[in-house]
Amino acid sequence: MFCGNLYIHKQNLRIRIPPARMCRRPRLWKLGAKPRRNSQACQRKIVMKYVVFMVISVFGFIVSAQVDPTVQEAIAKIEKVRRALKISASQSALCQTPISPSCTFEGYCGQLIDKAQDFYLYQDAEGRQIPNLSMSEYLGFSEHCVDVFPQHVVSDPFVDVEQFVDVKAAGGIKQLRRNKERLKKETARTMAVLEDARSHVIKVLEGRKNANNAKQIDSLIARVNAVKYRPIKATGSYTDIILDGCESANAYYRRDANSITVCPQMMNLPEGALFSILAHELGHAIDPCVLQFDFDSKGAKYPKSLRSGVQRKSKTTLPAVPLSQNPFENIISCLQSPQSIAVQVPTKQALLNEINARGVKLRSDIGDASSEDGSVPELTEEAKLMLADQRKHIEENYERFKYCREMSGVGHMQEAFSDWISTQALAEKVSNIQDSSKSRDFAFASESLFYASDCENIQQVAKSKVLGAIEKCPGIQDMLNYLEEENRLSGGKSSHPDPARRINRIYYANTKIQKALGCQGGNDAQECN
């Protein structure tokens, strides 16, 4: 099951299709997250549901473009934006690492605003780049208006991953081969960074060991050591990459396989970014939810009581660690405090109230549909049994699985804890880099994926520049309205905490990271220790 955006290519027509709610999955890292496997039929339903609407919209634009001067004007404006971005990409060079007056995400976003109209926001000494994903996403949206831009604006396969598998997108067979070689090289680099991140996460765990928790810490270390790297399948079609969870910049941990996958869009990021992302993913192997699962040689064994996943009848190699024995119980508590990130964990009663409200709504719906006198009819026996079963499930399993999204509906504690693990590993890493400028570069780069996609000021510049060019595009308002409605139906909720809060309240609350960045003040978050 994947979230983000599903792209379908048909006869050179690039169509961006927002995911149906029934197929929505939590994003792991930001744009990062962790896809849960679902049948491809679910993805096909998304395609069939929206492709007709999009094709009609685009076809109408193509027809009108032949006769409507205002549409021709929109095409010219899009082309102008594309040329400017291409020029900025060709002139990309080493950037000075920003120094913010405050230790905040917003402070660093402010330092990057001068690059908001460029294709890349930052380039380090090794030539690793932070793409302007806000601009790239809005540009892709604008190009849905008309099928006259078959090539991506910049030949960068780490931004447009179709260039890894498609001859035309790559610009020829020779370039496709070069791209595949680059992917192989960057995959090897990613795996090397994974081992570095793993060693630092283990150091963090070792540092917490004492006589009372040695057994539990050793179990956590064994889980981290057992995590495997699973590369994406980049030998087939672009659709295969999408179905592998890489429709956008993404990395994810699969607990059933105890594996980590990093999408190509992340592989050319600076080393600090990869390190932080991979340490976060390793954190999921020991987060407060996953620790409730027994592990076999493959990965997590879904307990029958959770009613999720496939229950494997195999030998347990690493038993679950009860919440009462979790050596990070104080960290879990701290992350829920207002002084930290204030993770909200629904109470048992709140979940029971949701079921009761569901029953009331169901009776109301039945009454609206069938009752002439306005009375509310009784539920069927089947419905009563279903609701009773749901209540029983919560009563019996809440305490064990309250931090799991399968129980509470949100996975914010899982994400916040993994961020905390990543922060501790990153703090140890930067504090041991002797060159202060290199330490600052590494610390800044660690959150570069968020700068690439979540700086509100940069998003506004991209939105204004690109959408201003297509304001007269037929059907554009319908598409914008659809996206707004999708967000409304989802309640604006995400499987991850707000990006700015994650950085400000966890990463930048760490004193070692603050020292490496050379920033002071502006952040009142409490560091959880």
| DSSP state string for 438-463 | HHHHHHHHTTHHHHHHH-HHHHHHHH
What is the C-alpha separation between 479 and 109, in angstroms, rounded? 28
E runs forming strands in 344-474:
none
Amino acid at 214: A
CA distance 448 to 274: 9
Q: Given pLDDT bands bounded at 50, 70 and 90, which one contains residue 145? A: low
pLDDT at residue 229, rounded to an integer? 98
Cα(466)–Cα(140) distance, integer angstroms: 10
Name the residue among 501, 108, 513 with its Cα closest to residue 340: 501
Residue 17 has pLDDT above 60, yes or no: no
- The first and second tokens of residue 271, run together, are 């080393």
- Could you tell me the pLDDT band of residue 46, with boundaries at 50, 70 and 90? very low
Mean pLDDT on 326-335 = 98
pLDDT score of 401 more than 70: yes
Segment 364-372 shows an average pLDDT of 61
Q: Give the H or E element holding residue 135.
A: helix 133-142
Through-space distance between the first and last CA atoms of the chain, rounded to whole angstroms: 35
Return the domain boundaries, the chain. Answer: 69-345+403-517, 349-399
Q: Which one, of 343, 310, 517, lies nearest residue 427 by Cα? A: 517
Q: Residue 45: what pLDDT?
A: 41
pLDDT band with cut points at 50, 70 and 90 for residue 437: very high
Judged by phi (left if over 0) then psi (alpha if -120 to 50, else beta), residue 74 lies in alpha
The model's pLDDT over 235-288, given as tens digits with 9 standing for 90+, comes to: 888 999 999 999 889 999 999 999 999 999 999 999 999 999 999 999 999 999
Instruction: Using the structure block, give the residue that is written with the tokens 């995590």.
Output: 227
- Tell me, what's the pLDDT at 489? 63
The candidate with the shortest Cα–Cα distance to 510, out of 276, 326, 323, 292, is 276
Identify the CA nearest to 423 among candidates 108, 253, 200, 191: 200
| pLDDT score for 148 | 60
Q: Which two tokens stand for residue 512?
A: 């070692």
131 has which bridge partners?
A: 120
Partners of 15 in the beta sheet? 8
Residue 2 to residue 20: CA distance in whole angstroms: 10
Percent of the chain with pLDDT over 90: 62
* Tokens found for residue 460: 């506004």
pLDDT category at 111 given cuts 50, 70, 90 is very high
C-alpha–C-alpha distance, residues 126 and 7, integer Å: 32
Structure tokens at 216: 């539990």
